[in-house]
Structure 1
Amino acid sequence: MKKSFVAVSIAATLAFVSLPTVADTLDDSATWQETLNQAKGQTVYFNAWGGADNINDYIQWAADRIKDDYNVTLRHVKLTDTADAVNRVLAEKAAGKNTNGSIDLIWINGENFRAMKDNNLLFGPFSQSLPNYMAYVDENARQSLTQDFGTPVDGMESPWGMAQVIFMHDTATLRNPPKSMTELLTYANTNPGRITYPEPPQFLGSTFLKQALYELTPHRKALSQPVDTVDFEKITAPLWAYLDQLHPVAWRRGQTFPSSSEEMMRLLDDREIDVALSFDISAASVQIDKGNLPDTVRSYVFQGGTIGNTHFLAIPYNTGVSAGAQVVANFMLSPEAQIKKQTPTVWGDLSVLSYAKLSNADQAKFDALPRGIATLSIEELGKTLPEPHSSWMGALEKAWRARYAQ
């Protein structure tokens, strides 16, 4: 019956333009069933940052669900730096290992995605063919779904979540926190040793540089351009002048920096610093729930907005289990997985799904999600600032290290 219907549809395309979509839908369904069949029994090595227990727990939850539903085994390879995984794929390509690579899926975005794309290290395009992408993702909803730090996605990675920089303070010791880079410096001058940020190239430390640059430079439009096409020294001069003033009055006089957001939260809990930051909007709520922060800690954003982006899942070109990797990426886009992920005490990561495309039942589940004690609402998050072009990350990190690394 299916064969005859498809045959009629193909013949009809000679006369009618609108009918191929029916045949295409059937072909897509058949192709995805083939992917599911191929994926059974496969093991997918997922290289993802492993620096937060709650995120690691979420990945394990997803692994259990994927094993139960699809007979695909997901192994989390915990990274401290995503660039390590990119370099491994690059090394395998240089060595001629073009099949059965050691990495099957990578949590990625920004400069690491650009590096993989520029070096032809990616499998795909695949994301726009995933059933849950087609059903629930609205590419028009947010530029960062199709432009990853200025690099066109082109279906080579699948969106996984959205993040935005938030700051944290303990209301028991600081009622009115600084809400701009200028106010942060003023606070540091009057409260020496109480302000710091993670050390670049740790991603949040590099994001702190971008946040400061966006606020301080009068040449914001240049940040959307490749860094080698603009006057880097001129554009970044206000940033270095700012840090030259901040470091002498920062935590440990700017001679040592925290290694991560997690360390900043520990310092906040120990009352060594007064402001911490994170890319997870529910980070404070999660740590309060775990007993790692006092329940007087609250989140906030700067008045002029904070940087936000979308993070993705990408499949290396030389994976031997591309079917299993696609099944994992598709599950991660399911309403079930995205609702779980956005739960404030689980992860709190903002969903990439279009609310309007969800069923009434799934909308109700999103609506019913509790908001953690220190989690900002969408309205409270305010303005989301765009990421600079991906080439700015490496340039800023290199310049920072030349000036300040010990």
Structure 2
Amino acid sequence: MIRSVRRAVAIAASAGLFLTACAAPSSEAPRAEDLSWSEIQEQAQGQTVSLWMYGGDEQGNAYVDDVLAPAAAAEGVTLRRVPVESTTDAVNRILSERQAGVTDGDVDLVWVNGANFGTGKQAGAWLCGWTQKLPNMQWTDPADPLLSNDFGTPVDNCESPWHKAQFTLVYNAAAIADPPRTFDGVLEWAQANPGRFTYPAPPDFTGSVFVREALVSVSGGVDQVPAQFDQQSYDRLAPALFERLNTLAPSLWREGTTYPQSSSELDDLYAGGQIDMTMTYGPATLTQLVADGTYPPETRVLTVDEGTVGNASFLAIPSTSGKSAAAQVVANLALSPEQQLAKSEPAVWGQFTALDIARLTPEDRAKFEQLPSSPVVPSYEVISANAHPELSAEWVTPLDEGWRRSVLAGQ
């Protein structure tokens, strides 16, 4: 299995939620107790926090087990990682517990973003009113739109930033000497080089964002697609998108008769030389994948002129957790300059920090500036140039379902 960020910051979010059968008794978001930070730390002592997170990212698993958990133990909190196939599993567990009136549930902290966060927030799944108390929030930029809105849903102190992500196309420079420089150029290259490109089938997280990027491109740019979903805009814009993807399909790997079912399968195709491009929400991990021989040595990041979508991943506390004090301690620790620096190391996890480097102390800022440069991955500033925010989560399911009806079923 490729050691890469799966589904992105997989992260962390999945479009296919099955929540209608688990309607919460109230949609009002519960608020955290009004305690001082020292009182929260005292209450957290001896508690065990169950962190539910996508289990398919080996580097992410190792970071939590080997770096974050020991640091939490030093703060008097036991951190237990619970791997899940999809963040939806955690959200559904929380909503089931909420419906049953559980107040000390199985989930204490969740790696989350996107549709899972938005749907959970609407159903009262998350504890709110706590992130503003975290001492390490001082190192973040309160004006950063990636941290204040999650796929168009206001964060409202209901989740704590963990790291940033940037949707990135990746190519083998040994096979593509003159790579395209626009998203439409990528599609044209794929048609000119049959069998050397494909993308995961939605609702895979990476496949879904590829379709949204195609929507933006076909529609004439991000300004032409309303950030908030409405049916009229979908009906106006989606036909051209699906027509373009249907035109592309015969030139894809296996002539578009089948698609990788996950970003992991796509990465495996790229690693095995069956295709010349892959894509990821976590480009910082590419350095290690090349260094350990998983990816070809000529692997490079393809930056498109118009930019790509960027987002952030978060840690959220369920409203059903009985260990919210300890969960806050872990979330604050995860946001510390020390942990953010460790997580940024390519050999550890290689994630982009959620911190505003300019706000750090000179000593901590220097440590981030001394992170090793990569022969594969440009700086975050380069990768995120011209980046645009995610469309609202309400776009995800209609586009995924439309793709299945109009593209997949048509093959």
User: What TM-score, normalized to structure 1?
Assistant: 0.88
Which deviates further from its counterpart, 234-243 or 219-228? 219-228
Map Cα deviations across residues 336-390 of structure 1 (whole Å, 9 max, x no partner). 0111111223222211112122111101100100022211113421221211111
1:383 aligns with 2:389: no
* Aligned residue in 1 for 2:121: 117
Structure 1: distance between partners of 2:277 and 2:185: 12
After the TM superposition, which residues 261-272 of structure 1 pair with which residues of structure 2 at under 5 Å, given as runs?
Answer: 261-272=263-274
Q: CA deviation at 1:253?
A: 1.9
CA RMSD of aligned residues (A): 2.0
Residue among 188, 195, 209 paired with 2:190 = 188
* Aligned residue in 1 for 2:28: none
Structure 2: distance between partners of 1:347 and 1:259: 24
Secondary structure of the 1:113 match is: helix
Residue among 43, 46, 51 paired with 2:51 = 46
Residue among 392, 395, 399 paired with 2:398 = 395
CA contact (8 A) 2:54 2:84 kept: yes
Residue among 164, 177, 184 paired with 1:175 = 177
After the TM superposition, which residues 215-364 of structure 1 pair with which residues of structure 2 at under 5 Å, given as runs?
Answer: 215-218=217-220, 220-221=222-223, 223-228=225-230, 230-364=232-366
Q: Cα–Cα, structure 1 residues 63 and 345, in superposed 2: closer, same or farther, change >3 Å?
A: closer
Structure 2: distance between partners of 1:39 and 1:391: 36
Letter paired with 2:204: Q
Q: Cα–Cα, structure 1 residues 220 and 377, in superposed 2: closer, same or farther, change >3 Å?
A: closer
Counting aligned pairs with the same residue, the percent is 37
Secondary structure of the 1:230 match is: helix
After the TM superposition, which residues 82-101 of structure 1 pair with which residues of structure 2 at under 5 Å, given as runs?
Answer: 82-94=87-99, 96-101=100-105
Q: CA deviation at 1:225?
A: 4.2
Structure 2: distance between partners of 1:222 and 1:384: 15
Structure 1: distance between partners of 2:318 and 2:116: 12
1:33 aligns with 2:22: no
Q: CA deviation at 1:397?
A: 1.2
**Structure 2, unaligned runs of 5 or more:** 1-32
CA contact (8 A) 1:307 1:385 kept: yes
CA contact (8 A) 2:118 2:393 kept: yes
Count of aligned residue pairs for this structure pair: 376
Structure 1: distance between partners of 2:305 and 2:149: 25
* Aligned residue in 1 for 2:107: 103
* Aligned residue in 2 for 1:197: 199
CA contact (8 A) 1:125 1:156 kept: yes
Map Cα deviations across residues 50-91 of structure 1 (whole Å, 9 max, x no partner). 222111111113343334321211111112221121112122
Secondary structure of the 1:391 match is: helix
Map Cα deviations across residues 251-306 of structure 1 (whole Å, 9 max, x no partner). 12222222333332321221100111111121321211222112221112212101
Question: Greater helix share, 1 or 2?
Answer: 1
User: What TM-score, normalized to structure 2?
Assistant: 0.87
Which deviates further from its counterpart, 29-38 or 280-289? 29-38
Q: CA deviation at 1:230?
A: 3.4
Which deviates further from its counterpart, 220-229 or 267-276? 220-229
Letter paired with 2:363: A
Q: CA deviation at 1:239?
A: 1.0
Q: Cα–Cα, structure 1 residues 347 and 213, in superposed 2: closer, same or farther, change >3 Å?
A: same
Q: CA deviation at 1:173?
A: 1.6
Q: Cα–Cα, structure 1 residues 84 and 224, in superposed 2: closer, same or farther, change >3 Å?
A: farther
Secondary structure of the 1:313 match is: strand
Secondary structure of the 1:163 match is: strand
Residue among 141, 162, 187 paired with 1:138 = 141
Secondary structure of the 2:352 match is: coil
Q: Cα–Cα, structure 1 residues 149 and 224, in superposed 2: closer, same or farther, change >3 Å?
A: farther
Structure 2: distance between partners of 1:233 and 1:248: 25
Secondary structure of the 2:312 match is: strand
Letter paired with 2:41: L
CA contact (8 A) 1:309 1:386 kept: yes
Which deviates further from its counterpart, 75-84 or 205-214? 75-84
CA contact (8 A) 1:165 1:301 kept: no
